[in-house]
Amino acid sequence: MIQVKNLQKEFRIHQARAGLGGAFRDLFSREYKTVKAVNDLSFTVEEGEMFALIGENGAGKSTTIKMLTGILTPSEGEIVINGYVPFKQREEYVRSIGVVFGQRSQLWWDLSPMESFRLLKSVYKVDGTEGDKWLDRLIEELEINSFVSQPVRKLSLGQRMRCEVAASLIHKPRLLFLDEPTVGLDVLVKQKIREFLRNLNETENMTILLTTHDVSDIEALCKRVLVMDKGKLIFDGLLSDLKEKWGNGTEVSFQMKKRTPADELRKTLGEMPCEISQVNEYTISVKVPQSQEMLPFVLSTVMSTFEVSDVKIMETSTEDIVRNIYQVDTGVRGHA
Amino acid sequence: MHKLYMELIRMRFLTMLAYRVNYYSGIIIYAINIGAYYFLWGAIYGGQQQLGGLSVEQMTSYVAIAWMSRAFYFNNIDTEIAQDVREGKVAIEMIRPYNYLSVKTAQAFGEGIFRFLFFAGPGIFLISLIIPFHFPATATGWGLYLISLMFAFLINTQINLLTGLFTFFLFRNDGMMRAKRVVVDLMSGLVLPISFFPGWAQTVMGFLPFQAVNYYPSLIFTGAITPGRSWELIGFQAIWMVVILVPILILWRMARNRLVVQGG
Amino acid sequence: MQNVKHIFGIFADYLGQYFKTRLAYRADFLGDFVSNLISELINLVFIIVVFTHVPLMKEWTRDEIIFIYGFFLVPYALFSMFFGFWDFNERYIIRGEMDRILTRPIHNLAQVCLESIAPDRIFGVITGLIIMGYAAFQLDLTFYWYDLFIFIGLVISGALIYGGVYTAIAAVSFFSDSRTGIAPMIYNIQQYGRYPVDVYNKAIRFVLTYVLPFAFVGIYPAAYFLRKEVWYTYAALTPVVAVIFFGIGLLVWNWGVTKYRGAGS
């Protein structure tokens, strides 16, 4: 369904000279730097897959999505989606995709989401009764019925985001792009949206591509992950592989009732391959490598041996994973 | 505080230098505007030597200086304030340790100086290659003009502040701001020296501050009036400046109390 | 046929959105109407006041100049209705709304026009016709039945010229990363096209005829109705200029879209 080959996007960025004098010189001649936002990207996606594109800010995720949706023209390389070349056949291609921009709205700010839905139905030539039924289903599953007739400017971020998702799906696209959709949302709303997307993928076989900073988004939704860094694709595979190979595992922070030195914990856990460090006199953190059994074992052992007042569990972050990929995998050449 | 304002002015300079397209097209636009008006007025005068109290030569320098003055006193802070209100940024501005209005004025000042020197300056230079302009020969002439210009800037900026403040209460008043811009251009004396207007209109406009914005300084510049009269006009400008300050302060206080922020 | 129906449908929908949005902010209907009227009449004041001092401007009388002004208001009103995206740079480039436009299956320029549609500008047509009518009466002009069609043609051409010029200027925003577009600067220049072009020197005349052909929206077509035969060829060229400049506008725009960088990260 999606075929990307050797995709490149370069930007020529004007380097502003410093100070007032420099600014005057810039009037006459400018200095430019060429930045490769996307560098030789290739991957293939089958229909019905749900996958995530992750990486730090500036890694090239948004630029990639913009090229996939036809907003940006690639400098080099090929993209074929659903038989279309996005930037060449944009208006036809776009009928088959839906896009949710986390940071920008598709809805008319002054009107209710319902009005926007009506207009979009017209724009996308959505068929009468079928379209209505589909929209009703969207409204129901996203639970937006209670506020879908209120002006958008009066909605909370969580409410608005759900309406944005609905708006992007009105024409029942075969492919859905979501660019950072869960930024700023609270846990409950995130869950609702994730469940909805999962359901959509299962019942309608919709291909879904998600970019995000939030590893838990991916955990909940995608099996397949593409990791980008500095414009390059540094990992393309299953999430479980990603975490096993390059995750730091999990870090558990125990807050004890009594002062406890780290050595005591070490004694209890014996030969367990985990990193123990003393955060302060009452708090010890244990880094547990990725494994199904180790985490519960560590938890139960420590908590049965010591009097624990609080436990904090921290997952590996995307930055950690990316960092690890560079450190561990000598086959991937990162930045010079 | 002084440092803050210098810094603001410097920032405006940098901002205006940053966009080459705007800069170069700005110069050309100035040249075209001045040139076109010069010819227009040439055609209007026809064979006549004097109209509305100005000779042909004085008229041409009036045209040139009217546009140069506008380059200095013109600013968009009314729309900028309106935008701040609409986007809710104004709430943040309120809690900053400076006076929002003075900051806006300083920004406008920076913009004005830049435009005067680097837009209108080159623009006039370009067009003077084709058109002979007459500039005052004496230092007093220039001195009086510059003093008057400074007042003109303050008055125009105050008018803009006032318009911008209305956004607190009216929200979408960009229609009003558009109309105001056109009205000010007419009543300030930019497109027509006030002396051209029929007597009754001149009396009415005597009660409005607009002619102090362009007509007074331009008149002083052309040398069509005596230095004594020039000082009189400057006096009027000073009075207007004080008068307009009052509603500004009142509205500002009201606005702070009634901070209804739109959006967000 | 299906397509045409669809186009009308979309147009009606966007118009509907416009009205619903306006009604959501009740305050400004009257305000906008009044300010438009004021903006239109201010220029008239200039003409009237000037002519209280002189009888002629280069052999053109006051009523002739007024007629030209009235004429100009009509294509300008049409143009303002459909190409009202004065804040294009701020809204679509800086705030990145162009992204949304590009992901919808309608031509992007058409969408921008539809989203900025300003049907209240139609009153400018009425103002223009009234002013023209007054001047025509004063000048005792005669009209023939076919003049109506010529008028409509010239008006549409004028609107297209404006549309083409301002589309190209808005498209400049795709190339430059400026904070403000340059459209407001050009605004003043369009009025020079309403005066007899032979007033200006060669350079400015050239600009107003071939570069920013505002003369084709004011003096040249109006000269036809004023029966100034020496300008007839120019008047006849108006539709040609319209097609050329609208074409240029479209070309520059489409080229600009490929240079669009997207907003934000």
With helix as H, strand as E and coil as C, how does chain B read? Answer: CHHHHHHHHHHHHHHHHHCHHHHHHHHHHHHHHHHHHHHHHHHHHCCCCEECCEEHHHHHHHHHHHHHHHHHHCCCHHHHHHHHHHHCHHHHHHCCCCCHHHHHHHHHHHHHHHHHHHHHHHHHHHHHCCCCCCCCCCHHHHHHHHHHHHHHHHHHHHHHHHHHHHHHHHCCCHHHHHHHHHHHHHHCCCCCCHHHCCHHHHHHHHCCCHHHCCHHHHHHHHCCCCHHHHHHHHHHHHHHHHHHHHHHHHHHHHHHHCCCCCCC
Structure tokens at B128: 């003077």
C104 touches A101 (CB < 8 A): no
- pLDDT tens string for chain A (336 positions)? 888 888 888 888 888 888 888 888 887 888 888 888 888 899 999 888 898 888 777 778 888 988 999 888 888 899 999 889 988 888 889 999 999 988 788 888 778 899 889 888 888 888 888 889 999 999 999 989 999 888 888 888 889 999 999 999 999 999 999 988 888 888 888 888 899 999 999 999 999 999 887 777 877 887 888 888 888 888 888 877 777 777 767 788 888 888 888 888 788 777 777 778 888 888 888 887 766 567 778 888 888 888 888 888 877 666 677 667 666 544 444 443
Whether C25 maps to a domain, the answer reads no
In a domain, C30, yes or no: no
β-sheet bridge partners, residue A229? A232
Higher pLDDT, C31 or A61: A61
Q: How far is B140 from chain C (nearest CA, A)?
A: 32
What residues pair up with A277 in beta bridges, in sequence order? Answer: A285
CB contact under 8 A, C17 and A11: no
B26 or A334, which is more confident: B26
**Tokens for B186?**
């007419």
Q: Of C10, C20, C97, which has the smallest distance from its Cβ to A122's Cβ?
A: C10
Can you tell me the distance from the alpha carbon of B80 to that of B202, in angstroms, rounded to the nearest whole number? 32
**Among B20, B21, B196, whose Cβ lies nearest the Cβ of C49?**
B196
CA dist B125 and B123 (Å) reads 5
pLDDT for position C245: 95
Average pLDDT of the residues in C18-23? 79
In this complex, the chains that touch A, judged by 3 or more CB pairs closer than 8 A, are: B, C
Q: What pLDDT sits at residue A154?
A: 85
Q: Residue A32: left if φ>0, alpha if ψ -120 to 50, beta else—which one? A: beta
Would you call C99 and A104 a contact, using CB atoms and an 8 Å cutoff?
A: yes
**Of A103-112, B108-117, B254-263, C186-195, minimum mean pLDDT range:** B254-263
Output the CATH code of domain A249-315.
Answer: 3.30.70.1150
Other Cβ atoms closer than 10 A to C31: 16
- A144 CB-near residues (< 8 Å, 6+ apart): A113, A159, A162, A163, A166
Q: Does residue C131 contact residue C69 with C-beta atoms inside 8 Å? A: yes
Can you give the residue ranges of every domain in chain B? Answer: 2-257
Task: For chain A, give the number of residues.
Answer: 336
Query: C92: nearest CA in chain A?
Result: A104
Please give the order of strands across the beta sheet that includes A283-288. A275-278, A283-288, A250-256, A308-314
- The set of residues, in sequence order, having a beta carbon less than 8 Å from that of B208 and lying 6+ positions away, is B187
Decide: pTM greater than 0.95: no
Give the highest mean pLDDT range of A248-257, C16-25, C63-72, C180-189: C63-72
How many angstroms separate the CA atoms of C221 and C234, rounded?
8
Residue C255 to chain A, least CA–CA distance (Å)? 11
Determine, for residues B21 and C46 on separate chains, whether the beta-carbon distance falls below 8 Å.
Answer: no
Crossing angle for the helix pair C123-139 and C62-82, nearest 10 degrees? 160
CB neighbour list of residue C218: distance below 8 Å, 6 or more residues apart:
C68, C69, C71, C72, C193, C194, C195
Neighbours of A34 (CB within 10 A): 9
Find out whether C169 and C253 touch, Cβ atoms under 8 Å: no
The domain total for chain C is 1
Higher-scoring residue by pLDDT: A26, C247:
C247
For residue range B83-115, list pLDDT tens digits in order.
Answer: 888 777 777 777 777 788 888 898 899 889 888
| Residues in contact with A110: Cβ distance below 8 Å, sequence separation at least 6, in sequence order | A151, A152, A153, C21, C24, C25
Across the interface, do C262 and A63 touch by the CB < 8 Å criterion? yes
DSSP-derived pairing of the beta strands A207-212 and A175-179: parallel
Side chain identity, residue C257 = V
Structure tokens at B84: 């701040």
Read off the pLDDT of each residue in C30-57 and give the average, rounded to a whole number. 84
Q: Which stretches of chain A are DSSP H helices? A: 19-28, 61-68, 90-93, 113-123, 128-142, 157-169, 187-204, 215-221, 239-246, 262-269, 294-305, 318-328
Is the pLDDT score of C171 beyond 60? yes
Q: What is the 3-state secondary structure (H, E, C) of C83-111?
A: CCCCCHHHHHHHCCHHHHHHCCCCCHHHH
Q: Count A/C contacts: CB-CB distance under 8 Å.
A: 79
Question: What is the per-residue pLDDT across C151-162, written as a single tens digit (0 to 9) for each?
Answer: 999 999 999 999
Predicted local distance difference test score (pLDDT) of residue C2? 66
The angle, 0 to 180 degrees and rounded to 10, between the axes of the packed helices C28-51 and C123-139 is: 20
* pLDDT for B262 beyond 50: no
* Span C63-69, average pLDDT: 91
Short-list C3, C5, C7, CA closest to C111: C7
CB proximity C200 to B under 8 Å:
yes
Q: Find, among A102, A47, A124, A35, the residue nearest to A335 by Cα.
A: A35
Find chain C residues with C-beta within 8 A of B191's C-beta.
46
Is residue C64 in a domain?
Answer: yes
Q: What is the mean pLDDT of residues C111-121?
A: 88
- Among the partner-chain residues C32, C56, C172, the one whose CB lies closest to the CB of B21 is C172
Picking from B104, B36, B33, the residue whose alpha carbon sits closest to that of residue B71 is: B33
Q: Is C203 inside any structural domain?
A: yes
Q: How confident is the model at residue C265 (pLDDT cuts 50, 70, 90)?
A: very low
Question: Which spans in A86-150 are helix H?
Answer: 90-93, 113-123, 128-142
- Provide the pairing of β-strand A207-212 with A224-229: unpaired
User: H or E stretch including A232?
Assistant: strand A232-238
> Where exactly are the structural domains of chain A?
48-244, 249-315
Q: Which string of DSSP letters, residue by residue, matches C168-184?
A: HHHHHHHHS--SS-SHH
Q: What tokens appear for A278 in the block?
A: 């003393």
Nearest to A16 among B10, B18, B23 (CB): B18
Q: Does residue B190 have a pLDDT over 80?
A: yes
Tell me the shortest Cα–Cα distance from B107 to chain C, in angstroms: 16
Under DSSP, the state recorded for A122 is: H
Q: Any idea what DSSP says for residue A317?
A: P
Integer angstrom CA distances of residue B195 from B187, C50, C86: 11, 11, 34
pLDDT in the model for residue A322: 64
Cα separation values, C24 from A109, A116, A151, B245, C120, Å: 11, 14, 9, 34, 16
Q: List the chains bordering chain B where 3 or more Cβ pairs fall under 8 Å.
A: A, C
Number of residues that make up chain C: 265
B239 has pLDDT over 90? yes
* A24 vs B: CB within 8 A: yes
The predicted model gives C58-81 an average pLDDT of 91
CATH fourth-level superfamily of A48-244? P-loop containing nucleotide triphosphate hydrolases (3.40.50.300)
Q: What average pLDDT does chain B have? A: 84
